[in-house]
Amino acid sequence: MIINNTEHYDAVRETINMSNMKKLIDSKDYSVTKLAMNACISDSSINSYINGNKLPSVTNLVSIANFLNCNIDFLLGRTDNPLPIEKLNSLSKDSELSILINNISSLPKDKQKLVEAYVKGLMDHK
């Protein structure tokens, strides 16, 4: 969606959800204070982002993503894939892997879940 007026801005704003940031903080056993200190952002701003009261600036998003080692779209709730952009870029350069990922992403969600479960099973039996 192109943001060219207040109505579109509000519609895009409503789609942004920073709950993935909270999930990452919890999964890494970090505190909001630890993230705030390392990203050079106030605790209150981090809490405002998590609670949906405020949107981070681009520079704050980059700082948070760098510290949490994830991509910005993941922080904004636009993807479920937290891989940092550098890793995503390297995946796209591997043509066979890129084709495989595109094929999997074109499957219906139930089939994607089966592929995910299969891969997780393989990873558990390393």
**H or E stretch at 102:** helix 95-105
Q: Thinking of the domain 6-83, which architecture would CATH place it in? A: Orthogonal Bundle (1.10)
Per-residue exposure over 1-29, b if at least 16 CB sit within 10 Å of its own CB, e if not? eeeeeeeeeeeeeeeeebebbbebbeeee
Q: What pLDDT is recorded for position 125? A: 77
- Segment 40-59, tens digit of pLDDT: 999 999 999 999 888 899 99
Phi, psi of 30 (to 5 degrees): -95, 165
Q: pTM score, two decimals?
A: 0.66
